[in-house]
Amino acid sequence: MKMRIAIGQINSTVGDLKGNFEKMLSMIKAAFDRGARVIVFPELCVTGYPPEDLVLRLDFLKKNVETVEKLAVETRDMDIVIVAGFIDFSDDVYNAAAILYGGEIQGVYRKMILPNYGVFDEFRYFAKGRVPLVVEDEHGTRMGITICEDIWVPEGPMRMEVIRGNAGIIVNLSASPFEKNKPLLREKMTSTRARDYRIPIIYANSIGGQDELVFDGYSFAVDHEGNVIARAKGFDEDLLLVDIHLEEAVLSKLHDPRKRQIKEENVTCDVVKITASFLTSGESTPSTCQKLKDEYEQVLDALILGTRDYIKKNGFQKVIVGLSGGIDSSLVASIATMALGPDNVVGVLMPSQFTSSESLEDARKLAQNLGIETFTIPIKGIFERFMEELEPVFKGLPWDVTEENLQARIRGNILMAISNKFKYLVLVTGNKSEFSVGYATLYGDMAGGFAVIKDLYKTEVYRVARLVNERFGREVIPERIFKKPPSAELRPGQVDQEKLPPYEILDEILKMYIDKDMPIDKIIEEGFEVETVKSVVQMVNNSEYKRRQSPPGIKVSSRAFGKERRLPITNHYDPWK
């Protein structure tokens, strides 16, 4: 006898109660057909994650509950236990899991450990659950329920479900956002928890893009020894089936007295008894174990999925990208092409008198390699007309950043005009190094709906661009683009390195200052020049106002701009004082 359990790794859309319901229903049918006795869905799969202030709407909460009730009714004739994330709206509002069987909601587990850091604001919305819960089938087999953060703390409900609830298996419903190394970290942590208590764990993660976040999927199962025995696809929907032999775990416990030592503690756990059987006989189903890709391959997948979902879920079909012939716009156009196909990507070339012929050539070559359409609209005439009209006010004042920004803003206007006329979404091409130090023009190159590589430092941009060429199997991004010194080409002979330290140095300082919040003296101790560190930190602090008005982009690091990093604009803190 074994437990055949399915993970319904679906791509929910926030607020799309009906669409999410339909996805769940079709996964349940498929799992049932394949002999699964239990199916586990991700955290808040009914509403999508994170629903943010939709949770403050009564009508939304009610419809979410109705959706779960409807799901129970529609699946009443299928002999399968369903565990689905939804918002429990009863004496208070909870991030919860409903246990459905035989047409009814058999029980509700309420998340006990609520994250309120990084990108998470769960205390804003939810009350804490107070009681762990196990579901018991007619054979007495017990399945402990946990939701995401619950399992990340050593003393969460899982411990009580094992000690007091005598759970034989733990399931975890997650909406764990992607960041570099996160998929591996999740497995390591879960593996440790499994070994700690000699119990198999089923980890069901969301997939899909939601504004700044990408959920990578990679749901998995670990056995009681902590081995990963099954893994779902990354960055795609999947139905993962796995057979768990519960006796093995019990046998293993007999040989490990550690758990039994703490058994007598005074903790409580609810038990929901249902008339279903978790167990099935007959032939085992071989479990699939998808490969966990390399770190930056995952990053590229995240950028593709995040872009595709933002575009499609927001009702767009096509995108436009300003092509400068530089590495950033080349990478963004390539990602867009991978996400949407070449017919849905348009490159716009907007040369000025400072645009080198090499840049134009490189941009055209890239577009040709990708097979995307291009428009060419020169900006010189418009720029001159602006300067003419501004002359009575500027009265011959010397050229400065004003004229550079104006060129960038004319380009922004052109992209937005095309966007308005044809309903294409504008992709922004700035990288994290630029967003960090404010080396970008508000309403200029920062104008657009979605900033694909906003969380990639420049040095990482090159790295991911290499992977793009590898994945295409040919030189899509021309080699010359990798080689030439980065330049905004907004005045004669301009290169980024005039105003900024070399990117190899800049990015290292930024990682320490932004991603790790390291004190300045520690950064200097790492071997960087005081003046360089000082100027970088000042640039970062002084450009908060630009970031506040920047478009959303895809989080791939442990500290992305946007909801994950919340600094005041008005801020006189100077670490040197």
- The reply on whether position 117 binds a copy of itself by CB under 8 A is yes
**Inter-residue contact 337 to 372 (CB < 8 Å):** yes
In 3D space, the residue among 431, 449, 429, 410 whose CA is nearest the CA of residue 315 turns out to be 449
Q: Under the criterion CB under 8 A, does residue 402 sit at the interface with a copy of itself?
A: yes
Give the CB-side neighbour count of residue 46, counting CA atoms within 13 A. 25
Q: Which residue from 22, 33, 53, 475 is in contact with a copy of itself, where contact means CB under 8 A?
A: 53
Which residue, 15 or 342, has its beta carbon nearer to a copy of itself?
15
Decide if residue 124 touches a copy of itself (CB under 8 A).
yes
In the complex with a copy of itself, the residue whose CB is nearer, 81 or 408, is 408
Pairing relationship of beta strands 2-9 and 279-280 according to DSSP bridges:
antiparallel
Instruction: Based on the residue annotation, tell me whether 43 is a catalytic residue of this protein.
Output: yes
User: Hey, how many other C-beta atoms are within 10 angstroms of the C-beta on 280?
Assistant: 19
Examine residue 268 and tell whether it contacts a copy of itself (CB under 8 A).
no
Of 29, 463, 534, 548, the one binding a copy of itself by CB under 8 A? 548
d(CA 63, CA 59): 6
Interface with a copy of itself includes 21 (CB under 8 A)?
no
The residue (of 57 and 130) whose beta carbon lies closer to a copy of itself is 57
Closer to a copy of itself by Cβ: residue 168 or 351: 351
Contact between 436 and a copy of itself per CB under 8 A: no
Choose, by CB under 8 A, the member of 29, 30, 52, 535 that binds a copy of itself. Answer: 52
Residues 234-263 that bind a copy of itself (CB under 8 A): none
Helix (H, G, I), strand (E, B) or coil at 160: helix
Please work out, in degrees rounded to the nearest 5, the angle formed at the alpha carbon of residue 329 by the alpha carbons of 324 and 330.
Answer: 100
Q: x-or-dash pattern for a copy of itself, window 180-219, by CB under 8 A? A: -----------------------------xxx--------
**Smallest distance, Å, CB 574 to a copy of itself?**
8
Give φ, ψ of 121 to 5 degrees. Answer: -135, 40
- Comparison of 250 and 401: residue with beta carbon closer to a copy of itself: 401
Q: How far is the CB of 450 from a copy of itself (least distance, A)?
A: 9
Strands 169-174 and 93-101: unpaired
Residue 411, number of CB atoms within 10 A of its CB: 23
56 or 262: CB nearest a copy of itself:
56
| Closest to 200 in 3D by CA, of 237, 231, 245 | 245
Nearest to 84 by CA among 142, 132, 12: 12
Task: Give the rounded distance of the alpha carbon of 362 from its chain centre.
Answer: 31
- Residues 1 to 20: which contact a copy of itself by CB under 8 A? 13-19
Dihedral over alpha carbons 405, 409, 412, 416 (to 10 degrees):
160
How far is residue 567's CA from residue 547's CA, in Å, rounded to a whole number? 10
Stretch that binds a copy of itself, among 159-167, 268-276, 477-485, 565-573 (CB under 8 A): 565-573
Stretch binding a copy of itself (CB under 8 A), from 268-276, 297-305, 383-391, 489-497? 383-391
294, 394, 479, 529: which one binds a copy of itself (CB under 8 A): 394
Residue the block writes with tokens 């008198």: 353
Residues facing residue 321 across a β-bridge: 347, 427
The residue to which tokens 């070449």 are assigned: 342
Residue where the block lists tokens 């006329």: 421
**Cα(206)–Cα(289) distance, integer angstroms:** 17
**Binder among 375, 462, 472, 482 for a copy of itself (CB under 8 A):** 375
Does residue 390 touch a copy of itself according to CB under 8 A? yes
87 binds a copy of itself per the rule CB under 8 A: no
Q: How far is 312 from 512, CA to CA, in rounded Å? A: 35
Q: Assess 373 for contact with a copy of itself (CB under 8 A).
A: no
SS3 283: coil
| Per rule CB under 8 A, count of chain residues that contact a copy of itself | 86
Q: Are 106 and 135 in contact (CB under 8 A)?
A: yes
Write down the least CB distance from residue 575 to a copy of itself, Å.
5
Residue 474 CA: distances (Å) to CA of 10, 328, 372, 464? 33, 19, 16, 15
Q: Hey, is 39 helix, strand or coil? A: strand
- CB nearer a copy of itself, residue 13 or residue 106: 13
Residue 446: closest CA among 550, 351, 544: 550
Shortest distance in whole angstroms from residue 252 CB to a copy of itself: 38
- Per CB under 8 A, the list member of 449, 478, 486, 553 interacting with a copy of itself is 449
Which range binds a copy of itself by CB under 8 A, 226-234, 418-426, 430-438, 529-537? 418-426
DSSP secondary structure of 246-264: HHHHHHHHHT-THHHHTTT
Q: Binding segment for a copy of itself among 32-40, 279-287, 458-466, 548-556 (CB under 8 A)?
A: 548-556
The correct pick among 268, 314, 317, 497 for binding a copy of itself (CB under 8 A) is 314
396 binds a copy of itself (CB under 8 A): no
> Exactly one of 148, 432, 460, 489 is catalytic; which is it?
148
Query: Of 2, 23, 45, 111, which is the active-site residue?
Result: 111
Does 113 help bind a copy of itself (rule: CB under 8 A)? Answer: no
Q: Which amino acid is at 101?
A: Y
The answer to whether residues 43 and 88 touch, using CB atoms and an 8 Å cutoff, is: no
In the complex, least distance from residue 112 CB atom to a copy of itself, rounded to whole angstroms: 15
CB of 563 to a copy of itself, least distance (A): 8
Nearer to a copy of itself, 197 or 450 (CB): 450
- The CA distance from 553 to 389, in Å, is 35
Out of 135, 520, 533, 556, name the contact with a copy of itself by CB under 8 A. Answer: 520
Minimum Å distance from CB 149 to a copy of itself? 13
Binding mask 275-304 for a copy of itself (x = CB under 8 A): ------------------------------
Q: Catalytic one among 2, 23, 43, 365?
A: 43
SS3 content of the chain, % helix, strand, coil (to 5): 40, 20, 40
Contact 234, 218 (CB under 8 A): yes
| Catalytic residue set | 43, 111, 148
